[in-house]
Structures are given as C-alpha cells and as structure tokens.
Amino acid sequence: MSRKALKAMKQRVRELTFRTRGRRIEQVVAELRSYLLGWKAYFDFAEVRSIFKELDSWVKRRLRCYLWKQWGGRGYRELRKRGVSRDLAW
C-alpha cells in the first residue's frame, strides 16, 4: 500500500470526523463505516494487517475526540453515565 493512498485515506477520515462538523455521532459513524468498508475491500488483497490494525486505533482515537468535543465540559459526567468507574473517568 502506498503512502499516497494512506495519506488520502487519513485526509478523508479527518474530513468525516472534523470535531466542529455539527453532526450526531451516529451519522458520522455511518458515513465513516461506509467509506472504510469500501477502502478495506479495495486494499484487502494486500498483506497489510499491521497497517489495518494501526489505522483502526487511529480512527477510534478520532471518534473519541469527536465525542469528547461534543460533550464539552461534561466529559466526566458522560463517562460515568456510560458505566465507567470514577477512577477511570477522572
């Protein structure tokens, strides 16, 4: 897989997960899922498992940042609402 292809993919994911985009997380995930499934299908024949694993972590981090921005100053409360322990939420 070329660096150019990776760069283009990351740029598209950045566009979809831009933190001030003003969309619900469900919409962002649906758009992102559609794009990533197509991208994976195209590059699936290449031996790039380690790259997929790295990209998976990167995309998850982008989504966490998106949620955190939507929550504003309520991050701790939102995590506690979702069942995260006090120690981990802090």
12-62 pLDDT tens trace: 999 999 988 888 999 999 999 999 999 988 887 777 778 888 999 999 999
For residue 2, pLDDT beyond 90: no
What Rg value do the Cα atoms of the chain yield, rounded? 15
pLDDT at residue 85, rounded to an integer: 93
Query: What one-letter code names the amino acid at 29?
Result: V
pLDDT at residue 59, rounded to an integer: 94
pLDDT at residue 56, rounded to an integer: 92
Mean pLDDT of 71-87: 90
Bigger pLDDT: 58 vs 73? 58
Distance, in Å, from the CA atom of 46 to the CA atom of 86, rounded to the nearest integer, reads 43
pTM for the full model?
Answer: 0.78
Return all residues near 21 (Cβ < 8 A) that are at least 6 apart: 28
For residue 9, pLDDT beyond 90: yes
Where do the domains of the chain lie? 3-89
Q: Do 67 and 56 meet the contact criterion of CB atoms below 8 Å apart? A: no
35-to-3, 13, 39, 60 alpha-carbon distances in Å = 18, 8, 6, 15
